[in-house]
Structure 1
């Protein structure tokens, strides 16, 4: 395997790297020499020397030392992508994620799929963004299936703009058989009372959830119902997703974790109905947040049982900084009355800063700024610095 350092050295060994290029020819329109046994070239050499890919990109390829079978075909593929509106960065992303694209047949595999996407109403910019995040699209299904999958997504999301939005994040959807997963799952969840608008938002944010087998989704709904969850709740879908993200064994272990923290079975059911998403959080984080709230927040397990959503917050980015600021203010008796811990922890960053930091800059400004710097949250830091503490 090539290291990034060795690849940089290799690229520097090319005595005339730019002699391969002519001003009037695009960087990917290079003719390659004969691919005879004597002139075989590795993928790393090809990308570094022939097309000046960055060493960082080449170092992340799974097998850069393998020989390229047909450099001339690869030249044509790269040239076509550039002519289709792909930027250099996007082209490198495509090859880094799926180098097999270099060996794909341009006229019978890549061009027809790009045309399907063009005919579906996507702009060149949209296509480049989608392919660069999911290059498997170029070789993952038949052209007919690709078009049908696009139409299926459009029937659920309502527009080409909507399809483009979700594919830029999850291009893999285009190579799945959505008629066997997405469509039956959407129809079943609609029968459970979930609105179309809520469904669309969920497809945008959690498209992989809808790729579960329909029988899996139905079983998850049954288990959510058993937990006493109302189907009219806005978090009903979150509850189904939380359960679908774990095996039955993992779910039981999570229940045992909550019991070990002091939750009764009724408490667990109540917490699940209030904040189902926290059940998908790792055991380590749940323990860490509980320990922080109990010891530094001077609360007890009953407080967490009443406010289970707090388990989803970051200890480093939210709980620790706010609890430390609150401790200083209370120790110096600067607050007119003791604030609600729930309120303090659920405020937005901006609201917390305005209420508990800005009025007391001399006392907690530097402390809060240093904590935020440590966690790379620069906005509050800049506000403190601009105040010239």
Structure 2
């Protein structure tokens, strides 16, 4: 036993110079280990990739506008609503990529009432889904209602507005000022509000510049030697 103690003491003394240093050298690697993220935190970028179907670059860009989200509750409700409306996964992903804050919209107070209003105009759910996928930002901001009210004031019925929405869906979601300008342009080519051709005239001038429309009218007048009234009818 005495001999064993001497051997142990001798070993400790002989290796003290290295054994005292090596543990200290190991300390930095232990203390510098990365801290694992809080498992309860909501990883927005990962959600956008795995739940919404965005690409990694799209998710990285979109996540900067959704940093305030703390849970997937509201986005899940929006995605479920879009799916129920008939949007495919790819269409929903495209809508979220265009307008990430769509995921923050309130289903019961914003999205559902708009869908009900558009359904009341005669639009099918597929028409509404197409409208939402094309302009999700305007859909979320509820500019559709003032545009519908204004078009009704111009003498268009709900069926007329629905037809306009199908052929030119951006007309209902454009800024109201732009819609007013389109109406003025339609009147400028000689088609007054309330006339039977007003819907067709509004569709013809939608999202075209005044210069382009004037050029078309001049072309008709010069080619066929028409008057302003005749060119307006043709347009």
TM-score range for the pair, normalised by the shorter chain length? 0.5 to 0.7
- Find the residue that maps to 1:134 and give its secondary structure: helix
Mapped pair 1:199 → 2:161: yes
Q: In the alignment, which residue of structure 2 is the partner of 1:256? A: 218
| Distance across 2 between alignment mates of 1:101 and 1:75 | 8
Deviation at 1:164, TM superposition (A): 5.1
Q: Residue 186 of structure 2 contacts residue 202 of structure 2 at CA under 8 Å; is this kept in 1?
A: yes
Rounded to whole Å, the distance in 1 between the matches of 2:99 and 2:57 is 12
TM-score (norm 1): 0.39
Structure 2: gaps spanning 5 or more residues: 1-33, 35-42
Counterpart residue number, 1:101: 59
2:204 to 223, 227, 242: 242
Q: Which protein shows a greater Rg?
A: 2
Q: Give the Cα–Cα distance (whole angstroms) in 1 for the partners of residues 199 and 86 of structure 2.
A: 33
Map of 2:184 onto structure 1 = 222
- C-alpha displacement of 1:222: 3.5
How far does residue 172 in structure 1 lie from its aligned partner after superposition? 4.3
| 1:119-268 → structure 2 map (5 Å cutoff) | 120=81, 122-123=83-84, 126=87, 128-136=89-97, 139-141=100-102, 143-144=104-105, 148-158=109-119, 162-163=124-125, 165-168=127-130, 170-176=132-138, 181-229=143-191, 231-233=194-196, 235-264=197-226, 265-268=228-231
CA contact (8 A) 1:101 1:139 kept: no
Identify the structure with bigger relative contact order (alpha carbons < 8 Å, sequence gap 6+).
2
The runs of 5 or more residues in structure 1 that have no matched partner are 1-35, 37-71, 82-90, 273-389
Structure 2 vs 1, CA of residues 137 and 148 (structure 1 numbering), >3 Å: closer, same or farther?
A: farther
Write the distance in 1 (CA, Å) between the matches of 2:164 and 2:104: 27
> Is the CA contact 1:156–1:200 (under 8 Å) kept in the aligned structure 2?
no
